[in-house]
Structure 1
């Protein structure tokens, strides 16, 4: 796919969409994670919407949970056509992760571990010599998955590193 180098200037995110296998289980997970109830829930059955996503039809259930910075998390359970899980492998092209910013990393990390969240590995702090730019030095991260294997991250950025 060839794309022009002319800037489009898209700089504000509205939401992130996450395909899920069980909407009710995902609502429970993300409500516990964020402390927020869905602001919208519903169903859709549309051929034109499906075609806009490269699918023959889109029959789905959805819920949206909003975060403080106005970013919405759209949870979407496709009932027709049903898709296959990605397996949550971070290095697969096309996989994504949602990063949630925290101010007190230790407190959030401990609360999550105590609540039963399984982290993929130990938490990590970026050190000198392995990451550029230096603005990332001291940034602390930990990764975990939602019930469908979507990669999620908590981060406490340092310096000018925002994500």
Structure 2
């Protein structure tokens, strides 16, 4: 694939789409995580939309949960049904969705008490491993949704936007 060298200036995010195996379970998970109910739910049965995604057809159920500045589209393909990617952080093509928090310790503690299973210990960026130094002290922790989508909580420090 050739990469264009001219900037496309895509600087605003509308939504993140996450393929799920069980829409109802994912709605429950993301509603509990965000405290927000879906703003849209529905079904789609479309050959043209499938073609736009490189699929022969797109039969799916979906729900959208809006958080500040981002829509999270949860999409369960009923045809064609896909295989789970088991997206580990180091696998090319995997992605993660990061939630910014103001009080890392309080959120991390509440999540652990609620049964969220973090992938490892919480981490704080230290000198010599991050640039710019404005990110020093930034706290992160990673966990997965029911389908293995990588999720993160972050409390940025200094001038780091996160």
Residue correspondences, number: 162
Deviation sequence 1:67-91 (CA, Å, 0-9, x none): 022x000000000001111113111
Q: With the length of structure 1 as denominator, give the TM-score of the two structures.
A: 0.97
1:62 aligned residue: 62
Matched residue SS, 2:142: strand
Superposed, 1:130-145 pairs within 5 Å as: 130-145=129-144
- The 1-side partners of 2:85 and 2:153 are apart by 21
2:71 aligned residue: 72
Deviation sequence 1:32-86 (CA, Å, 0-9, x none): 00000000000000000000000000000000000022x0000000000011111
Q: With the length of structure 2 as denominator, give the TM-score of the two structures.
A: 0.98
Consecutive unaligned residues of structure 1, counting only runs of 5 or more, are none
1:2 aligned residue: 2
Superposed, 1:114-133 pairs within 5 Å as: 114-133=113-132
Superposed, 1:1-163 pairs within 5 Å as: 1-69=1-69, 71-163=70-162
Matched residue SS, 2:72: strand
Consecutive unaligned residues of structure 2, counting only runs of 5 or more, are none
Matched residue SS, 2:26: helix
**Moved beyond 3 Å, runs of 4+:** none
Q: CA deviation at 1:162?
A: 1.5
Matched residue SS, 2:153: strand
Contact conserved, 1:145 with 1:152, CA < 8 A, in 2?
Answer: yes
